[in-house]
Amino acid sequence: MKPQLLSVHGPAIALLLVMLFLPACAEEDAAVRVGPTLTLIAESGSMPPSQTHSLALLDEDHACVLLSYEKQVICGDRSWSDVTVIGKEGLGPGELDSPARVVRGPGHTVGVTDYRTQRFTVFSKDGELLHTVSTPPLFFPLGAFGADTLIGTHIPFTRGDTVGSAPLQWISIPRNEVIRKEKWSHASEASRAVLTGFSAGTG
């Protein structure tokens, strides 16, 4: 299946793709054509790839882009000659309703956080549905996920809470359950390194 002229909007995501997969271009806003059918709307910005919500770099040659309006993820190589469209709009297994973040995993896997369905779905880069994990409301991963464990936090709703007071949560992907919680204010050095590495671009 080939995408039919899709667009990605945001201050950083499209420019990052241009920087990573095509020769450098001007910093001003521009429309950049990638391959025969995929158009990315580039806007100026300077956010590290690891901090974007809409781009997952699987390796030096492959990336996946979240198209939140189309409820899909598109994965491809540098040339975009081999493009895979992952997911479709819906509430069923492997479907996306309110996709918010995309992150990489081991072995060329990609995970998508869906806020409305409150789940984290893992796909192969070829589009195969591998796992579905339940998450708390407004959960977001802190960097890449492992073969068995997803680490993240969520935006708190309790009055007086702050993002820093929200618990870090370890979710077992095979078991589909939270196996550990830890307040960020009481987090161990190893736990803090998760977010530090994510912020530095190494998570």
Note whether residue 177 is domain-resident: yes
Express each pLDDT in 119-155 by its tens digit.
999 999 899 999 999 998 888 898 899 999 999 987 7
Better pLDDT: 200 or 61: 61
Q: What is the 3-class SS of the chain, one letter each residue?
A: CCCCCCCCCCCCHHHHHHHHHCCCCCCCCEEEEECCCEEEEECCCCCCHHHCCCEEECCCCEEEEEECCCCEEEEEECCCCCCEEECCECCCCCCECCEEEEEECCCCEEEEEECCCCEEEEEECCCCEEEEEECCCCEEECCCCCCCEEEEEECCCCCCCCHHHCEEEEEECCCCEEEEEEEHHHCCHHHHHHHHHHHHCCC
26 inside domain: yes
| pLDDT number for residue 156 | 63
- Report yes or no on 8 lying in a domain: no
Do the domain assignments include residue 68?
yes
Contact 96, 88 (CB under 8 A): yes
The answer to whether the beta carbons of residues 152 and 125 sit under 8 Å apart is no
Indicate the pTM of the whole model.
0.68
In a domain, 22, yes or no: yes
Report pLDDT for 68: 84
Average pLDDT of the residues in 67-74: 90
Q: How far apart are the first and last CA of the chain?
A: 32
3 falls within a domain: no
Residue 4: inside a domain: no
Q: Is the pLDDT of residue 47 over 60?
A: no
Average pLDDT, the chain: 72
| Distance (Å, whole) CA 120 – CA 98 | 11
Average pLDDT of the residues in 100-110 = 93
Q: What residues make up the domain containing 192?
A: 13-200
The number of distinct structural domains making up the chain is: 1
Q: Taking a C-beta distance cutoff of 8 angstroms, is the pair 64, 93 a contact?
A: no
Cα dihedral: 166, 109, 118, 161 (round 10): 10
Domain-located, residue 174 = yes
User: Can you give the CATH number for the domain in which 81 is found?
Assistant: 2.40.128.630
Q: Which range is least confidently modeled, 169-173, 176-180, 182-186?
A: 182-186
